[in-house]
Amino acid sequence: MTTLNVAHVTWLALAIGLEIIANIFLKYSNGFRRPLYGVLSLFAVLAAFTEPPRFPGRVFSL
């Protein structure tokens, strides 16, 4: 099991922020009556739940 480090906390904070932004865009879309905000909401949710890339070796160690 890996230990909690800066990279894990950073990815978690980014996912939380994207989820909040997605909900704000969804509210502004007014039931998808404003397509731009609806599409931005969908992209933000997709980005929030996409797995971060895997790099060989050490990752983001300080």
Q: Where are the domains of the chain?
A: 15-48
Question: What pLDDT, on a 0 to 100 scale, did the predictor assign at position 27?
Answer: 96
Q: What is the largest CA-CA distance in the chain?
A: 46
Q: How far apart are CA 14 and CA 24, in angstroms?
A: 15
pLDDT of 16 reads 96
Tell me what pLDDT residue 17 has: 96
Q: What's the pLDDT at 2? A: 62
Q: Is 44 exposed, middle or buried (0-12, 13-18, 19+ CB in 10 A)?
A: buried
Helices (H) and strands (E) in the chain, counts: 2, 0
Query: Which residues of the chain fall below pLDDT 70?
Result: 1-2, 55-62
